[in-house]
Structure 1
Amino acid sequence: MNNPPRKAAISLMTDNAYFMDCFVGYVVNKNQTAMEIWLSMAKEAPEWFNFLMSLRNRIVSCLGLKDLGALGDIISSKQADDYLEGDRVGIFSVFMNEANEVILEDNDKHLNVRLSLYIESEVDVQKVSITTVVHVNNRLGKAYMLFVGPVHKLIVPAILSRLPKV
């Protein structure tokens, strides 16, 4: 696990975080934006992750929490630069959409999540850093993270591993 990139806006959102992780992968440099990479990753989410999201949605609905849908619930005809602040993209809403960083979020009564996909372009590759920052709002958020935290450390590397190899 890594620290968030210093130049990433998400690095300014880590104060008092209950949970934070950052994982890194590399893709061939095709001059893609952060949102373009995120959308391709969301479309390629592993089936086991979609199953876990479906299970999560059924369980938490009994607790009055939001059904987030699936990671790949995106509008296929929508272009990456068409996503504006507040737009829904899979299980998240857009907080920020810049060429080199997209920050997605979900806020609920138990916790607030921000996820950043930050890219640093080199000649042949783009370094992709995915940072997740969680602030809990109550005991339910802490209990939720007892289950989600360990699984999250499997999910992000698995999704990163599906990126085209360098």
Structure 2
Amino acid sequence: MSRIQTGGIPDTSGLKGRQRRRGFSDALSFEISDQQRSPSQVYIDVFGHLPLIVQKLMALRNRLVAPLGFAISASKIELSVEDLQHGQGVGLHKVEMMTDGEIICTTQDKHMQVSLSVVKHAPGQFTLSTLVNTYSWIGYLYLLVIIPFHKLIALGSVRSMLNRVKASR
């Protein structure tokens, strides 16, 4: 299995320098055997095929936070690379930026802004970053509660993606 390294947002990412005082960021770097994969394809590989437990946790999260005004995702949707277009919404997030080297997808509500980035460093080498900036004390409290779960979910989702990509070759 490929090794996953934790770290900060890459210097080459459009997310670099955007974290505010009551924000959070982390990143997972990994290598994929498919040297031709684009950041958009990796984004779909991760978020278009979330493990069942993650899907269930997201559904529970949506039910709990919707009354508080947080953005929620619709029920399970199929994601494809063809659906990713600048300025268009894909699931919970909207494509903010898409180049050959990076894709950034963002969602924003009255409590927080969440951005996800996939940066391609070299053929087959990627970093998936998460950046959260909060706007309210409710958003900040939510962030503090969710961080440990986020780390487990992110790591599990990337591992699942790496296993699927490896198995499909």
23, 29, 32: which is aligned to 1:27? 32
Residue 89 of structure 2: aligned partner: 88
Distance of 2:70 and 2:127 partners within structure 1: 29
User: Normalized against structure 1, the TM-score is what?
Assistant: 0.85
CA deviations on 1:126-165 (whole Å, 9 max, x unpaired) are: 1121111111101110111122111111111111112234
User: Normalized against structure 2, the TM-score is what?
Assistant: 0.84
Residue 147 of structure 1: aligned partner: 145
Moved more, 58-67 or 99-108: 58-67
CA deviations on 1:36-88 (whole Å, 9 max, x unpaired) are: 11112223211111001100111112223332235x62444x62xx5222211
Distance of 2:63 and 2:99 partners within structure 1: 33
Structure 1 residue 29 displacement after superposition: 3.2
State, as a whole percentage, how many aligned pairs show the same letter. 25
| Structure 2 residue identity aligned to 1:139 | W
73, 77, 80: which is aligned to 2:77? 73
Moved more, 5-14 or 98-107: 5-14
The answer to whether the Cα contact below 8 Å between 1:104 and 1:116 also exists between their aligned partners in 2 is: yes
Distance of 1:46 and 1:93 partners within structure 2: 21
Residue 60 of structure 1: aligned partner: 65
Number of matched pairs:
159
SS of the aligned residue for 2:9 comes to coil
**Unaligned runs of at least 5 residues, structure 1:** none
Distance of 2:67 and 2:20 partners within structure 1: 31
Confirm or deny that 1:43 pairs with 2:41. Answer: no
The answer to whether the Cα contact below 8 Å between 1:8 and 1:118 also exists between their aligned partners in 2 is: yes
**Unaligned runs of at least 5 residues, structure 2:** 1-5
- After superposition, the CA RMSD in angstroms is 2.0
Distance of 2:42 and 2:106 partners within structure 1: 17
**Dislocated runs of 4+, deviation >4 Å:** none
CA gap of 1:6–1:74, structure 2 versus 1, over 3 A, is same
